[in-house]
Structure 1
Amino acid sequence: MGAVKSKRMPRAVREQQMLDAAVRTFGQRGYMAASMDEIAELAGVSKPLVYLYLNSKEDLFTACIRREAKALTVAVRAGVDPALPADRQLWDGLRAFFTHTARHPDAWSVLHLQARTHGEPFAAEVASMREEIVAFVTGLIVVAARAAHRDPDLAEREVAGLAEALVGAAESLAAWANVTPGVSARQAAATLMNFAWAGLGNLMDGQPWSPPEPVHEAIG
């Protein structure tokens, strides 16, 4: 009876079931320790069927990265209403990011920890996702900066570094929040928003912080 049910299940549904099992296994066990036997058992299918659908452990891992990267970027974009003020857009984007990573900790482990440490092909997949998110955040910040400076031609490169730093901070904070009891997605988002918006506010008001002048010591 089990074999009959397997045949009747649409391929796309069965494949997603395998990917669900793989994300959970890779996220909790790590890429190297995870086995195709474990993944097949968790998915409720035979190991040959996993290979038939997804070819190899490497291809399965790549498919997991691509699916979860797309889900994260879609969630962040969907969380932002471009008609709202700049601070609200950034807040909503951060909240969408932390909500998604909190709800899918195994997926975040795959993207943030596993994919980056097991070879260039995997790392490149995550880098592509990260570039998309950085570009999106850059867009959010540059709109606010242009409005504050009344300069519609302010170049994106002026705030690109801020977006890069903000995304890096969000990634680290999400990893910390997922293993720290009592830290909600909203709290994580508020922590980063308070940290980032104060600095952004000063910058957009024309009050950037400047490093002290270097002290040149005499050489004896």
Structure 2
Amino acid sequence: MPRAVREQQMLDAAVAVFSRRGYHAAAMDEIAEQAGVSKPMLYFYLGSKEELFAACIRREADRLTEAIATAVSVESSADRQLWEGLRAFFVFVAEHRDSWVVLYQQARAQGESIAREVSRARRVIIDNVADLVRASGGGRVRGGEPEAVAHALVGAADALSEWALGYPDEPPERSARRVMDLMWVGLERRAQGERYEP
């Protein structure tokens, strides 16, 4: 079996075990057994438990950002691109629940090197969303506003995904529409000069 295929099997097993047990309770023995390899082989290919966890974070973050990038058509309007990206995000979470648990829940409790991996992936997504906000504003969204809105939008999607884990029957399209209704409709009104006045 090619090395790359074997590594993917080990990472699949590790993601499943980390998701189910959490980082601290996950045992390298269990990961090796689930992957169908020996524990020494697991160490040889992917290193220590911390290195293995970092490799899982890297792979799952890359898979998420790739899924979003692949789904978004550069020929679409800004609102359509955002819809396509949000839908891809929620589909990924629905289809890769273990990945999302590791990325969103487990990674938060780990050290600085893990936090850097998660921040890198999050930064790519936020930058892309900020570009869409700029494009949608027709020049009316200026300064640091696109980045602030992008942070809020990505945070809303993260939080809604966390909620959706408890509702497996929630269709990804409905979650994407909830965020679009909440954020995009508000952005269009802001672009027209409307503001909340307390």
Q: Report the TM-score when normalising by structure 2.
A: 0.96
1:114 to 88, 102, 106: 106
* 1:128 to 2:128 alignment: no
Matches within 5 A, 1:46-57: 46-57=38-49
Detail structure 1 runs of 4+ shifted over 3 Å in the superposition.
none
* Residue-by-residue CA offset, 1:148-176 (whole Å, 9 max, x unaligned): x4xxxx64522211100000110111111
Deviation at 1:41, TM superposition (A): 0.5
5+ residue gaps, structure 1: 1-8, 213-220
Instruction: Say which one has the larger Rg.
Output: 1
Match of 1:29 in 2: 21
Q: Distance in 2 between matches of 1:207 and 1:68?
A: 39
Check the 8 A contact 1:22/1:64 in 2, yes or no.
yes
Find 1:62's aligned residue among 54, 59, 72: 54
Tell me, in whole angstroms, the C-alpha distance in 1 between the residues paired with 2:51 and 2:113.
10
| Residues matched between the structures, number | 198
Q: What is residue 150 of structure 2 aligned with on the other side?
A: 163
The 1:87/1:55 distance shift into structure 2, 3 A limit, reads same
1:204 alignment partner in structure 2: 191
Is the Cα–Cα contact under 8 Å of residues 21 and 42 in structure 1 kept in the other structure? Answer: yes
Q: After alignment, is 67-76 or 177-186 more displaced?
A: 177-186
Give the superposition deviation at 1:132: 0.8
Identity %: 51
Rounded to whole Å, the distance in 2 between the matches of 1:45 and 1:88 is: 45
CA contact (8 A) 2:32 2:39 kept: yes
CA distance in 1, matches of 2:168, 2:106: 22
Q: Find 2:134's aligned residue among 138, 142, 150.
A: 142
Stretches of structure 2 that go unaligned for 5 or more consecutive residues are none
* Aligned partner (choices 71, 89, 92) of residue 84 of structure 2: 92
**1:183 alignment counterpart:** 170
The question of whether the paired residues in 2 share the 8 Å contact of 1:142 and 1:156 is answered with no
2:25 aligned counterpart, secondary structure: coil
- Scaled by the length of structure 1, what TM-score is found? 0.86
Q: CA deviation at 1:208?
A: 2.3
